[in-house]
Structure 1
Amino acid sequence: MKYSVKAPAKINLSLDVCHKREDGYHEVEMVMTTIDLADRIELSTHERDEITIESSGGYVPSDSRNLAYQAADLLKKTFNRSEGLHITIDKHIPVSAGLAGGSSDAAATLKGLNYMWDLGLSLDELAELGSQIGSDVAFCVYGGTAIATGRGEKIQRISSPPPCWVVLAKPSIGVSTADVYRNLNLDQIEHPNIDQMVDAIESKDYEAICASLGNVLESVTLNEYPEVRHIKKQMERLGADGVLMSGSGPTVFGLAVHETRAQRIYNGLRGFCNEVYMVRMLGESE
């Protein structure tokens, strides 16, 4: 039996860090939405009681470090499944990019196995399981657009933003999320207005959305990685309506209503950045 599931990437339209919690995590408040850049997960059962991973992308672990593996292993153990599973990941989302590629693969695996194994779990139940794997997995289970709080696992779904183009550029560097949070100075950051962003989305006010973009982690990543700052400045110079770093980086995205402007931004970035994508904002759950 085979089953295929789409695993879309996410971007942060707003990312705020409130304080550091006693458990070592940071309390966050984020507005996230899905975009039409996606991996494709194919699940197939086999007789041996094991989980195997195959990926088209480099730098993707094929063992228990892989979040899709962890998702399958969690369901196997929780529901005492004895059949083996082969997971094929057709990778399109760049790795370690701040776009939740691994988390989306895990969420797609949870949803696919829920169907294949006829587990009958609701999205809420799948999201609760997913939160055991990673902070972004719960959001990726739901997809669409949502406010995420806690360490990112508490999800409040909201309306989708108005449609637009999203141009993404990822420099060929890696950014440690843990290091970014460790170096964040909560006393000196300018907090984005989350309520203002949510109001703009609910009222489908594209200009207000662009004006409300904010990510406190830029205060660390843009200073420590000049390549990321350079990409952001280039996107602004090329005429993006709004520009922001996604997650802890290093990917930067620019928004554009018109395809011609998005194409101009895309072409301008291709000259000095290898990983550039031009996609549509999804915004709604598929």
Structure 2
Amino acid sequence: MLKVRGNAKINLTLDVLYKREDGFHQVEMIMQAIELADILHLEERENGNISVKSNIARLPCDHRNLAYRAAALIKEACQVNKGVHIHLEKNIPVAAGLAGGSTDAASVLKGLNELWKLGLSISDLEILGAKLGSDVPFCLRGGTMLATGRGELLKPLTDLKPCYVVLAKPPIGVSTAWVYRQYRGQDVKDHPDTDGVVACLNQGDLTGVANRLQNVLETVTIKEHPEIKELKKTMMQYGAMASLMSGSGPTVFGLVEEQAGAEYLAAKIRSQRSAEVFVTKTVGKNGGV
């Protein structure tokens, strides 16, 4: 039995540059790992079968589940005869813009590489991961990264100065594919200052990063779900340095320097808004704040 931890992510910036000939969108975004995580238990099976069980009843546990697909992919790619049972303890909200499915896939790739003694490098795993989803390569690495291409091309950045992150997910699900289909770049006037954020990261300037948080997909998701804008307002009203929607939404996060401030903010949101609320922290490249 092998236990693997899969961290969620937030987007400090997200820009969509253009639609590519292959149908994907060319993006440029700064991604940040956070401590909120799913826990996966991998148990080898001699019969060659793959099975998934989860603590979330409504979560599909067949080929629609990215953890299942990751196991099938690495098993086929490396011609492994053994199977695996995956027990998936979901703590990251589903369809929330926090890469919950992608981090499960990354965890399975890393875990089975170890369990089956395959000897694949992190680069090998990234190539496999990119076949499963654009966020999977980032979830394999974590820390603070600049992601380009469709999100799978990564450049390590200086870790964000450690801070607390308050997450609020309203009771709605958002389809990433739908958001990208609705996105109209010609209507977006303000784009992230990616270079400015990178410079602030290099200087350890948390305030500078916070002042430059931006996500162009808010132009789509907030129009459909105005409660996201209200959550951002509440975040700022009660002490967040800055607030942004993560990924395609609907989760909103706020950056807070101290734990007491983060707990106060979370309590205010719980009392005033309908949302799942979490207090977590940033995670650096070495797995800690």
Normalising by structure 2, we get a TM-score of: 0.96
3-state DSSP class of the match of 2:219? helix
Match of 1:223 in 2: 223
- 1:157-183 deviation digits (Å, cap 9, x = unpaired): 112111111000000001121121111
Cα shift at 1:57: 1.9
Matched residues in 1 for 2:222 and 2:61: separation? 31
3-state DSSP class of the match of 1:278? strand
3-state DSSP class of the match of 1:33? strand
Q: Which amino acid aligns with 2:88?
A: I
- Between 244-253 and 258-267, the greater mean CA deviation after superposition: 258-267
Normalising by structure 1, we get a TM-score of: 0.97
Match of 1:28 in 2: 27
- Between 165-174 and 275-284, the greater mean CA deviation after superposition: 275-284
CA contact (8 A) 1:68 1:106 kept: yes
Q: Which amino acid aligns with 1:175?
A: V
Instruction: Map 1:48-87 onto structure 2 (within 5 A).
Output: 48-87=47-86
Match of 2:198 in 1: 198
Matched residues in 1 for 2:230 and 2:217: separation? 16
CA contact (8 A) 1:59 1:95 kept: no
Cα shift at 1:257: 0.4
Inter-CA distance 194–142: structure 2 relative to 1 (3 Å threshold)? same
Match of 1:103 in 2: 102
Inter-CA distance 246–159: structure 2 relative to 1 (3 Å threshold)? same
Matched residues in 1 for 2:62 and 2:180: separation? 27
Matched residues in 1 for 2:57 and 2:223: separation? 28
Match of 1:181 in 2: 180
Cα shift at 1:28: 0.2
Cα shift at 1:285: 4.0
CA contact (8 A) 1:127 1:137 kept: yes
Matched residues in 2 for 1:91 and 1:13: separation? 23
Matched residues in 2 for 1:81 and 1:214: separation? 43
1:213 has 2:202 as partner? no
Match of 2:282 in 1: 281
- 1:180-220 deviation digits (Å, cap 9, x = unpaired): 11111101211111111111112110110101100000011
Matched residues in 1 for 2:223 and 2:237: separation? 19
CA RMSD of aligned residues (A): 1.0
3-state DSSP class of the match of 1:132? helix
3-state DSSP class of the match of 1:104? helix
Q: Which amino acid aligns with 2:244?
A: L
Matched residues in 1 for 2:213 and 2:173: separation? 23
Match of 1:17 in 2: 16
- 1:112-167 deviation digits (Å, cap 9, x = unpaired): 11111111111111111100000000100111110000000111111211111100
3-state DSSP class of the match of 2:138? helix
Match of 2:127 in 1: 128
Matched residues in 1 for 2:274 and 2:37: separation? 20
CA contact (8 A) 2:162 2:283 kept: yes
Match of 1:3 in 2: 2
